[in-house]
Amino acid sequence: LAQVCVVCAPRTPCPVARRPRCLVEAAMPCECQTGLSSLMVGIVVILAAGVFTFFPAFLGLFDYPWYIALCWIWFGIGMFFTAFGLLWECMGCQKEGRWHNKKASAREGEEAAPAPYVMIDA
């Protein structure tokens, strides 16, 4: 059984096949959920920035300009990730993986009528 490396070329023996990473890359398709992950990370970062902004805004604690600037920076980072994830999902940039039902998508255009049920008398 020849070891295959995606980095070198598909279906060719890998000169660096001793690395376990090559076998994992060849065996597993990319199942990254870039859009959803970015969307969730962005929302969490925005919420965290809001929690940290609560202290200087309402309690008067940590009322330093650099602290408030950091809160705004983290809010901006969260907005970037949220916008990126939203655009990624809306534009349909996600590659197909095993979460897509290929049989159902192939049958969408057919719309064949179901076979009639015939009752057999004994």
> What pLDDT digit, counting tens, does each position of 32-55 carry?
778 888 999 999 999 999 999 999
Please report the pLDDT score of residue 26 as a whole number.
52
* Dihedral angle over CA of 65, 68, 69, 75, nearest 10: -170
Partners of 5 in the beta sheet? 9
Residues 22-32, mean pLDDT to the nearest whole number: 56
Q: What is the pLDDT of residues 42-101, one digit of tens each?
A: 999 999 999 999 998 888 888 899 999 999 999 999 999 999 999 988 887 776 665 555
Q: Which SS3 state, helix, strand or coil, does residue 106 take?
A: helix
The residue count for the chain: 122
Please report the pLDDT score of residue 78 as a whole number.
97
Within 13 A of 85's CA, how many CA atoms are on the CB side? 19
pTM over 0.85: no
Please report the pLDDT score of residue 1 as a whole number.
43
Model confidence at 25: pLDDT above 60 = no
Per DSSP, the residues of 37-70 read HHHHHHHHHHHHHHHHHHIIIII--S--HHHHHH
Please report the pLDDT score of residue 84 as a whole number.
94
Selected residue with higher pLDDT from 110 and 10 = 110
Please report the pLDDT score of residue 81 as a whole number.
96
